[in-house]
Structure 1
Amino acid sequence: MTIKVGDRLPEAKLQWIRGGVEMIDTPTLFAGKKVVLFAVPGAFTPTCSERHLPGFVEHFDEFRDKGIEVACLAVNDPFVMQAWGQSQHVPEGLKMLADGNGEFIRALGLEMDASAYGMGTRAKRFALYAEDGVVKLLDIEAPGEFRVSSAEHVLSQLA
């Protein structure tokens, strides 16, 4: 079942690098906060690197000015997410989260089978906005598209 607006985000453990590899659970990540979480099929992939992540980097301060934290999620390991963030000049505060085994993505019901491309299970391209762990906005891209999960589209909905 796919998560929908009004649902509480499921509990899961994600990884990120802050000094070293750290685990963060989703209740800690979202509790008492306004967060935009966007997911990409893979770090260093063309649309993700040329358009999706760069849009959130470019508009990061606009989200912060609204009191909203921003996090990027992919079914990759935390070392890949760190290297991708560095290569994309991700500002401090934009969280680069790894869901290495895809457990959170499966719990959201937003996984896709990319086995035909040698990538296994990955995240569908999406963006969601949550307040205190409850989904308020959810935009899931159709396969092969990049429109509704862009930073610009998300900002237009939060205006």
Structure 2
Amino acid sequence: MTIIKLTTVGGKPVEYVDEIIGQGGMKDVYFSPDKSYVVAFFRDKLDYQGKERLKSIIGPYRDGVVVPAYLSYFFFAHGSVNDDMLEIKGREKEGKWFASASNRSKFLVAQEKGSWLTHLQITLMISRAVRRPPAAGRAPSRPSSK
């Protein structure tokens, strides 16, 4: 695990682990050593028109971006059964692992499953959160599992 240290244009020190955790269409994403934020770098340099377009949309162009990361309970702490045979330990939790009874019972260890009380609380929070945006025309009525 190699830790890269750099300084932003604004003079702020930034550290990240030299292991790609995700990729988008234009950027590669890395975790900080303590996983409290992520750092994203554009893969290719933008040409003049691309930079001008970005400036007009969001303001000054930056080669990398530092953003907050999810808290630790959004990631699998124990993984799956049989010594984490699915290699999900440390990966982001997705709804499909908990919504599918077969995935839940066959593959998740007991520590990851939670209790019926926590499931009820989560269901209530999701139903309250999902109800409003579609009614206001701000979001699709069918959210993804991510």
Q: Looking at CA atoms only, which structure, 1 or 2, has the larger radius of gyration? A: 2
Higher strand share: 1
TM-score scaled by structure 2? 0.24
TM-score scaled by structure 1? 0.23
